[in-house]
Every structure is written in structure tokens, then in C-alpha cells.
Amino acid sequence: MPTTQIIRIYQKNLDALAAHYVEACIDDSEHIRIIRVFISAAVSILIEDGETDETVGYVESTLRENAREFYTSNCAKGHPEISNIGDYIAECAEMFDYIYINGVTAVRLNERANR
């Protein structure tokens, strides 16, 4: 199957998750963890289906970047009053990456340490 079609199929599912995140006001950390689980499952399927490492890596990075882009743009929409929106979007991107890689437990531990 062509890589663009693979991405399109999985992206439709991520789009549905994104819509649910906005409509149901899901916690950011929960949403990002669900994305990570979904993308990990997609990668597993591609590996099981014998896709090349190049294809698997490309699909994984594309889906992750698309999800990250949605998350950061949604952060910006939620806070139009912020004067330096570029810095805020960068912070949202860092938070997405942190939760995606480390999960929410590490974030909560850091929050407690900063109190």
C-alpha cells in the first residue's frame, strides 16, 4: 500500500480523536497518551505487515507531527489573550513532546516538586 494512503487512513482516526478531544474537553495529558497508544499500535501493524523501516519511521513521525501540530494550534485557539503567542505555542509543543515521551506521571511529579 502506498505510504500516503497508509498515512491518510491513520490520520482519519487521529482526526476523529482530535474532534473528540475538543468536544468532550478531555484532559490534555490523557489525549496525548491516547495518541501515543494509537500511533504505537499503527507502527506495530505496519511492522507486522512487513513494511520497511523507512516507511514505518516516516508514518510514525508524520502522524506524531500532525497530532502535535493540532495540539499546539488548539492551545493557541484556547488563549487568544496571550500577547506572545509564539512562545506559548512553543511551550505547548514542548509539553506535547514531554507527555508523549514520558507520560503524565513525570509531569505530575515535576508539578509536585515545584510547589
- pLDDT for 70-108, tens place per residue? 999 888 887 778 888 888 889 999 999 999 998 865 555
Q: Which residue has the cell 484532559?
A: 27
pLDDT reading at 114 higher than 70? no
pTM score: 0.80
Q: Which residue has the cell 510514525?
A: 60
Vertex 112 angle, CA 107 and 115, to 5°: 130
Alpha helix ranges (H) inside 1-115: 3-24, 28-48, 53-78, 85-102, 104-113
The per-residue pLDDT for 81 is 81
- pLDDT for 10-49, tens place per residue? 999 899 988 888 888 888 888 999 999 999 999 999 999 9
- CA–CA gap between residue 90 and residue 84 (Å, rounded): 10
Nearest of 80, 100, 97, 94 to residue 34 by alpha carbon: 100
Between 111 and 1, name the one with better pLDDT.
1
- CA–CA gap between residue 95 and residue 107 (Å, rounded): 9
The dihedral formed by the CA atoms of 15, 22, 29 and 44, expressed in degrees to the nearest 10 = -20
Q: Which three cell numbers stand for residue 66?
A: 500532525
